[in-house]
Amino acid sequence: MKKVDDYKNKNVLVFGAGMSGTNAAELLVKLGAKVTLTDAKPADQIKAYNDLQNDGVKVVAGKSPVSLLDGMDLMVKNPGIPYDNELVKAAQSRNIPIIVELELAAEVSEAPLVGVTGSNGKTTTTTMITKMLQAGKQHGTALDGGNIGIPATKVAQEVTKEDVLVLEISSFMLLGTPKLHPHIAVITNIFSNHLDYHKTRENYVNAKMQITKNQTKNDYLVINFDSEEWRELSKRSKAQIIPFSLTDHYQNGAYVSDGDIYFKDEFIMHKKDIRVPGEQNVQNALAAIAVAKLYEIPTEAIVSVLKNFGGVRHRVQYVLTADNREFYNDSKATDIEATQMALRGFDEPIVLLAGGLDRGYTFDKLVPDFKDSLAGIVLFGQTADLLEEAAKKAGVPQIKKVKNLDEAVPEAFKMSKPGDIVLLSPANASWDQFATYRDRGDKFIKDVEKLTGKKETN
Q: At what angle do helices 279-294 and 122-136 cross, to 10 degrees?
A: 40
For 165, the enclosing helix (H) or strand (E) is: strand 164-168
Task: Say how far apart CA 230 and CA 232 lie, in whole Å.
Answer: 5
Q: Which residue type, as a one-letter code, is found at position 449? A: E
Task: Say how far apart CA 165 and CA 159 lie, in whole Å.
Answer: 7
Annotated binding site for ATP: 118-124
Burial zone of 352 (CB within 10 Å; 0-12 exposed, 13-18 middle, 19+ buried): buried
CA angle centred on 112, ends 205 and 136, rounded to 5°? 105
Annotated binding site: 118-124
Task: List the domains of the chain with CATH numbers.
Answer: 11-99 (3.40.50.720), 102-308 (3.40.1190.10), 317-452 (3.90.190.20)
Task: Report DSSP state, residue 16.
Answer: -
Q: What is the pLDDT of residue 414?
A: 98
Q: What is the pLDDT of residue 457?
A: 82
- Exposure letters 232-253 (e unless 16+ CB within 10 A, then b): ebbeebebbbbbbbbeeeeeeb
User: DSSP letter string over 262-318?
Assistant: EETTEEEEEGGG-SS-SHHHHHHHHHHHHHHHHTT--HHHHHHHHHH----TTSSEE
Single pTM value for the model? 0.84
Beta strand segments in 332-427, E: 350-354, 374-379, 399-401, 421-424
Q: Which residue type, as a one-letter code, is found at position 178? A: P
| Mean pLDDT, the chain cut into blocks of 10 residues (458 residues total) | 95 96 97 97 90 94 96 97 96 98 98 96 95 96 94 97 98 97 97 83 96 98 97 98 96 96 97 90 97 98 94 89 96 93 92 96 96 98 98 98 98 98 97 95 98 90
Q: What is the pLDDT of residue 310?
A: 81
